[in-house]
Amino acid sequence: MKKTTRVNHPPPVELPPGNHPLVAPIYQTVKFEFDTLAQTEAHLRGERPGFFYTRASNPTTRQLELLLAELQGREDCLVTASGVGAIAQTLLALTKQGDHVICFVETYNPTRYLIRRLLRRFGVSHTLLSIEDLAALERTLAAHPTRLVFFESPTNPVTKIADVTALTGLARAAGALSVMDNTFAGFHQHGGFAVDIFVHSLTKYASGCGDVMGGAVIARPELIDAMRSDFGALGGTLDPHAAFLILRGLKTYFVRYAAQCASAARIAQRLAAHPAVARVHYPGLPTHPQHALAAKQMQDFGTIVSFDLKGGASAARRFADTLELFALAASLGSTESLVVTAQMMVGRDLDADQQRISAITAGTIRLSIGLEETDDLLGDLARALDAAGAESAQI
């Protein structure tokens, strides 16, 4: 064999039987082959297991899918290149012209865009409700045959808690599928509820380090099987190297999440006592209007702490610019703490009444608490709150 040929067919190295790597290898390959054409054809007919083309499946992405399904308490999963990819592909795979979808004012802005703008172009109608108005949900389900009810809990950014039992019960009774974006709560929560389909952004807590994007759809096998070929055709596959990084991130998921939640709880308490703060939105605080529901539904209260500054937009600007440890950046769930202001979160598609329901005020701030020392974060927040409060008092 000439060297030019050899470099394209390097010597194979196979592990001997009984010899295993502790970390599964990254199958960084697009193609897989079978030994014969007959085996290839059998695989393509679905009669022989294996892998053929990474857009359809790959051992590394499959390992991540099996792990996530188990963490969320379901049997199967499909992973995608981003969280929004998981949401978009789920919506496209599960709806057809003439269907009706229910979503909420408090739903993540890009999800609302997908339902209100993209699905509408394909003849799918929607109704936008408040996550707190279960009576309106019941009325809407009675008035319109509905394919999907798409919701989140806690909601972004003001951490409203959806009543998961009531919501999924109403959807199921009306013959609609419930889809829950469980990104804010993580993979270990809400699995015991009758949610039909969970979607997640793996970009957040799964990776944890803010260096890789991914998404997941987790459900019972018949729903995943119904979506699988559309997902393959839509092509938003997760790369095996990204899957490897996410699998690596998941090894520390539970310890990271617990430490970040503990820090978030301390920070929420401290914010609530500061004179520059009008209101703190953290489901772990007894003052949160749905604290009891959160305590019933969740094992912990998350790492997102939002609050409203008394001084409005100008105080928010001074606050954000004074912070040193919190990066002014999108996303959440990473090891580094992040801050976003109302201007970065407001839903520009919402009318005045819907803006009121969304509860984002000019002084609303969302913090994503990372893994820094809590005392350092508290010191940084105290300086920024003093800057926000002091100058607004002079105005």
Ligand X SMILES: Cc1ncc(COP(=O)(O)O)c(C=O)c1O
Q: Which residues bind ligand X (CB under 6 A)?
A: 82-84, 108, 152, 156, 181, 183-184, 201, 203, 213, 215, 331
What's the one-letter identity of residue 394? Q
In angstroms, what is the minimal distance from the CB of 111 to ligand X? Answer: 7
In angstroms, what is the minimal distance from the CB of 202 to ligand X? Answer: 7
What's the one-letter identity of residue 227? M
Q: Nearest to residue 27, comparing CAs of 242, 325, 227?
A: 242
Identity of the residue, 178 or 392, whose beta carbon is nearer to ligand X in the bound complex: 178
Whether the CB-CB separation of 212 and 182 falls below 8 Å is answered with no
In angstroms, what is the minimal distance from the CB of 54 to ligand X? Answer: 20
In angstroms, what is the minimal distance from the CB of 180 to ligand X? Answer: 10
Residues in the chain: 395
How deeply is 354 buried, as exposed, middle or buried, from its count of CB atoms within 10 A (0-12, 13-18, 19+)? middle
In angstroms, what is the minimal distance from the CB of 212 to ligand X? Answer: 10
Q: Nearest to residue 141, comparing CAs of 124, 153, 129, 132?
A: 129
**3-state DSSP percent of the chain in helix, strand and coil, to 5:** 40, 15, 45
List, in sequence order, every beta strand (DSSP E) within 277-342: 277-281, 304-309, 327-328, 338-341
In angstroms, what is the minimal distance from the CB of 146 to ligand X? Answer: 21
Identity of the residue, 215 or 347, whose beta carbon is nearer to ligand X in the bound complex: 215
User: CB count, 10 Å around CB of 385?
Assistant: 24
In angstroms, what is the minimal distance from the CB of 328 to ligand X? Answer: 15
Identity of the residue, 106 or 300, whose beta carbon is nearer to ligand X in the bound complex: 106
In angstroms, what is the minimal distance from the CB of 282 to ligand X? Answer: 17
Identity of the residue, 99 or 152, whose beta carbon is nearer to ligand X in the bound complex: 152
- CA–CA gap between residue 257 and residue 302 (Å, rounded): 8
Check residue 49 and report its DSSP letter.
Answer: -
Identity of the residue, 177 or 212, whose beta carbon is nearer to ligand X in the bound complex: 212
Alpha helices in 273-311, H assignment, sequence order = 291-297
Q: Residue of minimal CB distance from ligand X?
A: 83
Half-sphere exposure of residue 5: CA atoms within 13 angstroms, side-chain side: 2
Identity of the residue, 201 or 364, whose beta carbon is nearer to ligand X in the bound complex: 201
Identity of the residue, 54 or 156, whose beta carbon is nearer to ligand X in the bound complex: 156
Q: Nearest to residue 315, comparing CAs of 292, 290, 342?
A: 342
Identity of the residue, 106 or 308, whose beta carbon is nearer to ligand X in the bound complex: 106
User: CB count, 10 Å around CB of 342?
Assistant: 20
Check residue 118 and report its DSSP letter.
Answer: I
- Measured N-to-C along each axis, helices 374-394 and 312-322 cross at an angle, to the nearest 10 degrees, of 140
Identity of the residue, 112 or 279, whose beta carbon is nearer to ligand X in the bound complex: 112
In angstroms, what is the minimal distance from the CB of 104 to ligand X? Answer: 12
